[in-house]
Amino acid sequence: QKEVEQNSGPLSVPEGAIASLNCTYSDRGSQSFFWYRQYSGKSPELIMFIYSNGDKEDGRFTAQLNKASQYVSLLIRDSQPSDSATYLCAVNLGGGSNYKLTFGKGTLLTVNP
Partner 1 sequence: GAVVSQHPSWVICKSGTSVKIECRSLDFQATTMFWYRQFPKQSLMLMATSNEGSKATYEQGVEKDKFLINHASLTLSTLTVTSAHPEDSSFYICSARDLLASTDTQYFGPGTRLTVL
Residues of this chain that bind partner 1 (CB under 8 A): 32, 34, 36, 42-46, 49, 51, 88, 90, 92, 98-106
CA–CA gap between residue 26 and residue 108 (Å, rounded) = 22
Smallest separation (angstroms) from partner 1 to the CB of 104: 7
Q: Exposed, middle or buried by CB within 10 Å (0-12, 13-18, 19+), for 84?
A: buried
Radius of gyration, alpha carbons of the chain: 13
CA–CA gap between residue 68 and residue 48 (Å, rounded) = 21
Residue 63 or 90: which CB sits closer to partner 1? 90
Residue 16 or 95: which CB sits closer to partner 1? 95
Residue 17 or 31: which CB sits closer to partner 1? 31
Smallest separation (angstroms) from partner 1 to the CB of 14: 25
